[in-house]
Structure 1
C-alpha cells in the first residue's frame, strides 16, 4: 500500500513457487484429496526489502502481458515497488562538481567554526587544492571565479564547452564586481578569529550530491565465503565479501615499513588456507598466531605456468630441508659433535673432518677445539 513504512526483510510482494513433485505418502495423499491444490508444497519467493534498507512506499507499478505491456519472453506479470527514504548529507557521502572534481565528505563542522570572509560570511565547502594538481581540471577554478563575479553583479555567463574563456576577461569581471583581480580573498579562522597566512580562492561552485552514500556502503566481515579458484575472500557487500587490499594499499603499507601487517594481509587474512585456519584456532585458544604458509594465489600461478610446460618448484625450501636433515643425521652419527649444536657451520666442518681423521688422538684434539669454541660463543 502506498504510504506504508517498511523495514528490512518486510514482504513487499507475496509470491510462492511449487516445489518439485515427489512420491506422496498416504497422509499427504489424504490432505491433497481434501484440500486439493492448496495442500501442495510451495517455496516462498516473495519480494522483500533488502537487509539494512527501508523507507516509505511511494509508488507501485503492475505490468501485465495481457494488458499489452511488453515483457521479457516467459514473463507474464511484473510488480515494481518504489521505496523512498529521506537522508541528510553526512560524513562519508560523495559529492561532485561539473569538472570531475568528486570527493567524499570527511567532516561536517558547525558554521561558526568554518573559515570566514572579512564581512563574517562563512564558507560552505572546503576543497583540498591538491585535487586540482592531481586531476588538472582547472575548469572548476575558472567556474569559481566567474560565478562569484556573476553573483555579485547579478549576471549569468554562457561558456560553451571546449571554448576558451580568457583569464583576462575573468579578471575584468572580478574588478567590475569590486573583487580582487586574482580571485583570492583573505579568510579568518572561525575558532580563533586570526587571519590565515595566505589568501585563498573563494567563490561559487555548482556541487551535486551523488548516489554513493555511506549508509549503502558500510559493511563488516569476520569470516565468510571464499573464491573456489583463488581461495581469496569474495568481493561486495551483497556477498559478505572482504575488504580489497589493492596495489596502492600495498604501496602505502610498504611506505610505512609495516612488513608484518603487510604479510598478514596477503596471507592469513587472504588465501593462506592452512595458515588462516591455524590463526583462527590460535585466537580462540589464546595462543600465539603461527607463521603464515605459502598463499594459494602463488600455487594457482604455478599451476598456470605448468599449463605452459613451465615447471616451478620451491628449490630453496627443498634444499633447506635437505641440509637440515643432513645436519641432524651427522649430529646423531658423531657423538663428539653433539655438544656444539648451536654453531651450524662448525658442525658441518667438524663432521667432514671427523670422517677423514682416523687416529683417536687427533679426534680428541678436534673435540677439545670445538668445546673451546662453544665456550667462547
Structure 2
C-alpha cells in the first residue's frame, strides 16, 4: 500500500477542507490552489486545477489547460494573447469568452453542485486566476472600462525611490514609471476582469438558488492580495501598501443561522480568520494549531475582545529594497524595511492613499514610537534576529528568511519551491 502525501509530511496536519471532511462534508477545490506538489489534496476530496502558467511537477498539465486544448475553436494556445503572468501590459482576451479561465472556474463549480453527494453538506472553494495579470478581460468587459474615466495612479511624496527607468523597461516590471496611457490600459484590463468575475459569480449564485441551496450556504468572498497598478510607481503585489495588502472580505451567513449581523465591521481581520469562522459556523471543533479567530462574534457585535492590529510581512521577492514588515489597525500603518533600515508611517484615516510618509514628522514621533514597539513585540518571540527586544535590527547582508519547514518540504518535493 502506498503512503499518502500527508503521511510523508508534505501536507498539513490540519486544513479547512480536511477538518470539514472529518465532519462529514463533501469538499472540492476548483481553480488556482497554489499547492506543492501541485496535485496535493491537502484535505480536499478532489481538486480541479487552473494553475495559470505554473508547472512545478514533472509532466504536470492543469485541468483547465487540458480542457482548453480540447475545446478551442481554432489554431491558438491559451497564452496567445502575448502577455506575461506578471506583466503590466493589457489587452482584450484573444479567444472566445467561454474559454476564459474565469468562465471555466464557474462552470466547474456548477458541475460540482450538480454532481456532489446530496446526502452530505458541501464545501466548495472557487479560486479565480484573475484579476491577477495578465489583464486580459473579455472584449465586452475591456471595452466597458476603456470608455470610462478611471482614477489615475497616485504617487506619494516618498515614491521617487521607485522611479527607476531600468526596472520600468521590463514587461514584468515590479516598479518604475509607465506612461499615463499604459497605466490606464492596465486598469481597464484589471477592472474589466473584476466585473467579469462578478458576473460569473452571479451566475454561480443563480445556480445555487435554482438548486435551493443559496439560503442554506455560508458564502465568503475574499482575495489573497491586490495590485498596485502603478500607484507609487509600483506594480504587482507583495507590498504593505493599501493597493496590495488591503483586500475585500464579504461574508453572507445562511438564513438557517437566523443570526443578526452588522453590515460593516471595522476591526482588523485577516485571511487566517476564515478557517475558524467557517468551522464555528459548521459546528466543527477548531484545531489548537489555528492562528486566526472566528469572526462570527464580531459580525454579531457580541465579541468584546479582538486584536488591536494585524502584522504582515514579505521577504525579498523582486529586490532587497522591497522586503518589508508592517503592522496596522486600519487607521495607522507602520512599515519597516529590514534590508534598508528605513521606516514609513501613514495616517490612513486622513491619508488613505498613503501619499504622505509621516515617519519623520515631529508631531507623530510618539505615535510612531508606539507602533514601532508593537512590531518589535510581534517579532521578538520568533527569535530570528529581527529585533534585540529594544530595537529593530537591520537585516542587510544577512540570509533571507524562509519557513521553518522550507528545507524539509523542498527535499521531499524534490524540486524548486517559491
Please report the TM-score for the alignment, with normalisation by the length of structure 2.
0.17
Does 1 or 2 have the higher relative contact order (CA < 8 Å, sep 6+)? 2
**Per residue, is there more helix in 1 or in 2?**
1
Instruction: Return the index of the structure with the highest Cα Rg.
Output: 1
